[in-house]
Amino acid sequence: MEHKKKQQVETSIAQGMHFIDRMTGAVIPPLQPSTTFARDEDYQLLAPQHSYGRDDNPSFGPAERMLARLEDGEDALLFSSGMAAAMAVIQALKPGDHVVAPAVMYWGLRNWLGHFCDNWGLELDLFAPSDMDDLARKVKKGRTRIVWIETPCNPTWDVIDIAQAVNIARDAGARVVVDSTVATPVLTRPLALGADIVMHSATKYLNGHGDVVAGALVTARQDEFWERICAVRAEGGAILGTFEAWLLQRGMRTLFLRVRRASESAMRIAHHFEGHKKLEAVLYPGLESHPGHAIAAGQMQGGFGGMLSLRIKGGEKAALNVACKCSVFVRATSLGGVESLIEHRYSIEGANSPIPKDLLRLSIGIEDVTDLIEDLQQALT
């Protein structure tokens, strides 16, 4: 019998897991919009895994299989947004459980955690993302259930050592959940470093085209806690629409190309503007001057991502002025798309934000990098 070598993950994803419709020969998975599914004469479901659209849908399968392959996990779940995916993990906890999360992270989740934990009877502690000793102090043996990690941390791009965080969590009997939205599976595989669950705001790099709001979780193993998360999604109905699931799997087929191009351009931009007289700092883990560079170099393979931030001399007013003078960069929220975006984060997060007022967050797309450099240069000067 002919031996087939296991394909590289990049090949599997580019081919959509080598999907072929056996009825038609189509190489693109079909859409299945049905919300309900028939039973036979014995009142048994024709397809046991599908009964009602709030629980599941055949159109989720291609994208979820691709996600599991990308992260080398046992199972994956799609959600209606990245927030819905993150919330499902926390909602699977029980009153009295303890959660530890970084003080710098996606602001929407940080704010929600504060409110929800108070209302749900959960205990929450925040740790300094660049200080593993602080994480160790915050974790409570036998009480901490989730150590939440986001790395690189949005929007300062601090880097958290996943393997070290896993060791700290294991000693306390806690699970590690990694928000790997920015790093993507192209650059970092948290499950291979010992994490239990990976979360993605699939709206960003996984879809990559700014036309889908989606979230995803991938688990290292299908255990009792994962089953609780599955129940949260099914009972709460935080599912992705059929067409959105189809668009997501289409976007993931070009993930490797897009992330590599964005990473290469971000590195060139970071090097070009490092030390610029109009800048206080360039925040990018690919720079050797970045405090987390050594950790990033160890756990990010093949690049350092397409996100960086600039701190502008002159404070908030000067930062806003630079953003408004850009003509190639689009002034908009979000990240991970094919177009480059620039955003004044403090204006978005508001008065309680820990983010410096002089910080501009850049999401680097796939445009010609010289156009991006020239646009920033003219805006700064």
CB 335 within 8 A of CB 341: yes
Please indicate, yes or no, whether residues 260 and 247 belong to a single structural domain of this protein. Answer: no
In degrees to the nearest 10, what's the CA dihedral of 25, 29, 33, 35? 100
Question: Can you give the pLDDT at residue 1?
Answer: 42
Question: 223 and 319: one domain?
Answer: no
Residues 221 and 352 in one domain: no
Q: Would you state the pLDDT for residue 4?
A: 55
Residues 245 and 265 in one domain: no
* Listed residues 232, 252, 272: the one ending a domain: 252
Residue at token pair 């998360």:
229
Within a domain: residue 1?
no
Helix (H, G, I), strand (E, B) or coil at 125: strand
| pLDDT tens track, the chain, 381 positions | 444 567 899 999 999 888 888 888 888 888 888 888 889 998 998 888 888 878 888 889 999 999 999 999 999 999 999 999 999 999 999 999 999 999 999 999 999 999 999 999 999 999 999 899 999 999 999 999 999 999 999 999 999 999 999 999 999 999 999 999 999 999 999 999 999 999 999 999 999 999 999 999 999 999 999 999 999 999 999 999 999 999 999 999 999 999 999 999 999 999 999 999 999 999 999 999 999 999 999 999 999 999 999 999 999 999 999 999 999 999 999 999 999 999 999 998 888 888 999 999 999 999 999 999 999 999 999
In a domain, residue 134? The reply is yes
213 close to 244: Cβ distance less than 8 angstroms: yes
**Burial, 352: exposed, middle or buried (Cβ in 10 Å; 0-12, 13-18, 19+)?**
exposed
Q: Are residues 235 and 262 in the same domain?
A: no
Question: At a CB cut-off of 8 Å and minimum separation 6, what does 113 contact?
Answer: 90, 99, 101, 124
| Helix/strand number for the chain, H first, E second | 14, 12
Q: Tell me which of 184, 218, 252 is where a domain ends.
A: 252
- The pLDDT assigned to 191 comes to 98
In a domain, 3, yes or no: no
The size of the chain, in residues, is 381
Same domain, 206 and 128: yes
Residues 228 and 271 placed together within one structural domain of the fold: no
Same domain, residue pair 194 and 273: no
Question: Cβ neighbours of residue 134 under 8 Å, at least 6 residues apart?
Answer: 127, 128
Is residue 76 domain-resident? yes
Is 107 part of a structural domain of the chain? yes
Active site residues: 54, 106, 179, 204
pLDDT value for 244: 96
CA distance linking residue 347 with residue 336, whole number of Å: 20
* 248 and 268 both lie in a single domain: no
- Rounded CA separation 292/156 (Å): 11
In this structure, which amino acid lies at residue 245? A
**What is the CA 137 to chain-centroid distance, rounded?**
26
Q: What does the block give as tokens for 220? A: 């290292």
Prior bond of 102 cis (ω within 30°):
no
Task: Look up residue 45 and give its DSSP letter.
Answer: B
The whole domain housing 92 covers: 9-252
Q: State how far the Cα of 239 lies from the Cα of 270, in Å rounded to an integer.
A: 38
Alpha-carbon separation of residue 219 from 58, 82, 103, 111, 114 (angstroms) = 20, 15, 24, 25, 25
Assigned domain for 244 exists: yes
The continuous run of DSSP H or E covering 197 comes out as strand 197-200
Sole residue written with tokens 């699931």? 245
Domain with 150 in it: what CATH number? Answer: 3.40.640.10
User: Do 289 and 178 fall into the same domain?
Assistant: no
**Which CATH number is 374's domain given?**
3.90.1150.10
Q: In 3D, which of 67, 37, 317 has the Cα closest to residue 190?
A: 67
Q: Is residue 152 reached through a cis peptide bond, with omega within 30 degrees of 0 on the bond before it?
A: yes
Q: Which of 197, 217, 252 is the last residue of a domain?
A: 252
- Which pLDDT score, from 0 to 100, does residue 148 have? 98
How confident is the model at residue 207, as a pLDDT? 98
2 domain residue, yes or no? no
* DSSP class per residue in 307-351: EEEEEETTHHHHHHHHHHH-SSSEE-S--SSSS-EEEEHHHHH-T
At 45 the pLDDT is 87
Single out the residue of 144, 361, 252 nearest to residue 135, CA to CA.
Answer: 144
Residue 170: count of CB within 10 angstroms of its CB: 14
- Alpha carbons 298 and 371: distance in angstroms, whole number: 31
143 with 261, same domain: the answer is: no
The total domain count for the chain is 2
Rounded distance, CA 185 to CA 3, Å?
A: 28
Cα of 207 vs its chain's centroid, Å = 11
262 in the same domain as 148:
no
- Separation of first and last alpha carbons in the chain: 67
4, part of any domain: no
